[in-house]
Structure 1
Amino acid sequence: MASKTNGETQASRNPGESGVEPKARRGRAMLMMVSVVLLLGAGGAAATWYFNRGQDAAAPQPPVFVSMETFTVNLQSEYNDQHLQTSLTLKVGDAAAAEQVKLHMPELRNRVLLLLSGKAAAQIATTEGKEKLASELALAVNRTFGEAHPGWPVERVLFTSFVIQ
């Protein structure tokens, strides 16, 4: 029986079958290698795209500023006549926004003059008063381009000079 078992074992290992098994293993191994290479290539391509996209989005755009002519207005009278002389610069998103601002400059100057002349010296003499005034000016200027416009061109209003007399 031992020889029969050996015979069966040898019969199950006949040369035709043993030749097929290594070919199947080689085919599976080759398929696995190709799959791994494709996955690594796809992962590398995805990583390259992701990191390059992040660099492009993170590249800061240079700021664009539009200067306005000097404003001289009479302030609201508290005790005696007081005047404000100020120069403003508008920070805008890009060159297209700067062109929009320049196109509407007369209307923007009108809005700024009306807002400034409605203030009293005590309201705008402090740093907090100036910051609040800058926010109000930005809102007034942006209203020229439509109410609740999501992409308002003016990001900030900056004072380049500010004198109360």
Structure 2
Amino acid sequence: MADEDIEVEGGEGEGKSGKLKIILLIVGVLVLLGAAVGGTVFYMQSTMQAPATEVAGEGAVEAEKVYDDDREKAIYHKLRPEFIVTFDANNRQRYVQMEVTLVTRDPETVALLANHNPLIRNALVLLFAQQDYLELQTPEGKENLKKQARDKVNELLMNEAEKETIEAVLFTNFVMQ
């Protein structure tokens, strides 16, 4: 009887030490996993930042100062909805769909653009409709249209608010059909 009690007690002791081993093993794996993740994050941050400082060196700070002193950050104003213009090309009806974004560095211009949106859209629709469909298929034709659109918007802003602050016109989507 006494032998049976000892065996039962020994069996429970082995169960407890087995559970302890499993818990220690799990804790050890979690510590290693945490160290691996931390090391990876540290390595990735140092490799992503190192090339910029190595290439630019001290010039990076100077360039940043020049940028902050001389120029404001660019502001992008998307004209919504997109423009859809029809053309007659070789006796066929053609369509062009364009998403147009205006670039300025003057925050006041954004308010002007919103206020005069119908006037600007009307002028741009008329300008776009005057274009030659075949010419718009070339990169030069698209660049020429961007310059004409920029000049037209600046002309309207000059007439309405005596400002010409649109730096560029961007076609963020340009589909011809």
> With structure 1 as the length reference, what TM-score do the two structures score?
0.61
Residue deviations 1:97-144 (CA, integer Å, cap 9, x gap) = 111111111000001100111112111111111000000000111111
Q: Find the counterpart in structure 1 of residue 78 from structure 2.
A: 67
Q: Give me the whole-angstrom Cα distance separating, in 2, the residues matched to 1:66 and 1:124.
A: 23
Q: Give me the whole-angstrom Cα distance separating, in 2, the residues matched to 1:140 and 1:55.
A: 31
Matches within 5 A, 1:1-165: 58=69, 60-69=71-80, 70-146=82-158, 151-165=163-177
Q: Say whether the 8 Å CA contact 1:76–1:117 is kept in structure 2.
A: no
Shift of 1:57: 6.3
Residue deviations 1:29-51 (CA, integer Å, cap 9, x gap) = xxxxxxxxxxxxxxxxxxxxxx9
- Classify 1:141/1:60 alpha carbon distance in 2 versus 1 (closer, same or farther; 3 Å): closer
Q: Say whether the 8 Å CA contact 2:87–2:95 is kept in structure 1.
A: yes
Equivalenced residues, count: 112
Q: Which has the higher strand share?
A: 2
Q: Say whether the 8 Å CA contact 2:89–2:134 is kept in structure 1.
A: no
Q: Which has the larger radius of gyration?
A: 1
Q: Tell me, what secondary structure is at the counterpart of 1:91?
A: strand
Q: Which has the higher helix share?
A: 2
Give the gaps of 5 or more residues in structure 2: 1-61
Q: Say whether the 8 Å CA contact 1:76–1:118 is kept in structure 2.
A: no
Q: Give me the whole-angstrom Cα distance separating, in 1, the residues matched to 2:71 and 2:158.
A: 27
Give the gaps of 5 or more residues in structure 1: 1-50
Residue deviations 1:38-90 (CA, integer Å, cap 9, x gap) = xxxxxxxxxxxxx9xx8586354221111012000102433311000000000
Q: Give me the whole-angstrom Cα distance separating, in 1, the residues matched to 2:143 and 2:67.
A: 33
- Classify 1:114/1:65 alpha carbon distance in 2 versus 1 (closer, same or farther; 3 Å): same
> With structure 2 as the length reference, what TM-score do the two structures score?
0.57
